[in-house]
A = this chain, B = another copy of it.
Amino acid sequence: MTEMNQKHTCNTSHKGCVSLVPIFNHLDTEQMNEVMETVQSQSFKKGELVYHAGDKSDVLTIVNKGSLRLYRLSESGKEQLVRVLRPGEFTGELALFNEKVHENYAEAMEATSVCQITRSQLQALLVKYPSISLKILQELSSRVDQTEQQAARFTTESTEQRLASYLVELLGSDSQSDIVTLPLTKKDLASYIGTTPETVSRKLKELEELNLIKRISSSKIKIVDEDNLLFL
């Protein structure tokens, strides 16, 4: 991986890595044991890079605990948040399957442990258990869909609409309660929806004045009127 970060390889408790993640957790116990022996566990402290653009390391990195922030730098050096990886999600597929260099940066947002599997190891597993391919294909095709949708929103919706959609989507998974917790700083949130922190601030204020949301604290927001949020 990146040479700049010391690695804390711990050979115990790969279990989480394997049994938790969608691409492996359909296997039976014995097969999982086999997978566990091939994956390497690794930990990163907040702010450390798992890989960076230009890096060619060919491992698949699966988040076990914590979260990774994937971002890009534009030609002009502006940072664009691509997505946040949560436990069970993976990254590194471009370098792994296409033998290309990474185009993204992957940074730990908090203390984060991941499992890594090399190209040759994964290839062996894919041949032996084709169902793993299928899971990865599922995940990748749904990522293509999500990213296309995200791109389409940049050109067809206003900043306010994108912010509102984002809040409602947070609610979706969170559910149960009508209070969402922003998992990102305002700066990252702004970058993700394609705007600036100043504008996020102003738009949240506007949404509050329209009685669509209520700001509880800086990172907690109550969704008052989900339907009209999507109607903007």
Contact = CB atoms under 8 A, between A and B. Distances in A.
Interface residues of A, number: 46
Interface of A is mostly: helix
Contact of A75 (B75, B123, B157): B157
B72 A138 contact: no
Given A72-B152, A74-B152, A104-B148, A137 B138 contact: no
Nearest to A77: B156
Interface in A112-152: 123, 126-127, 130, 133-134, 136-138, 140-145, 147-152
A107 to B, nearest CB: 16
Interface stretch (A26-34, A91-99, A200-208, A216-224): A91-99
A98 B149 contact: no
How many copies of this chain are found per oligomer? 2
A98 to B, nearest CB: 5
Given A130-B127, A148-B147, A149-B72, A154 B155 contact: yes
B75 A148 contact: no
A123 B143 CA distance: 20
Contacts of A153: 74
Contacts of A150: 151
A176 interface: no
Interface string A54-90: 0000000000000000001011101010100000000
B130 A97 contact: no
A100 to B, nearest CB: 8
A97 B151 contact: no
Nearest to A104: B148
A141 B98 contact: yes
A80 B144 contact: no
B97 A134 contact: yes
Contacts of A152: 72, 74, 80, 82
Contact of A126 (B78, B133, B144): B133
7 contacts: A78-B156, A80-B152, A104-B148, A123-B134, A127-B130, A147-B148, A155-B194
The 5 closest A-B pairs by CB, nearest first: A74-B156, A155-B194, A154-B154, A133-B133, A151-B151
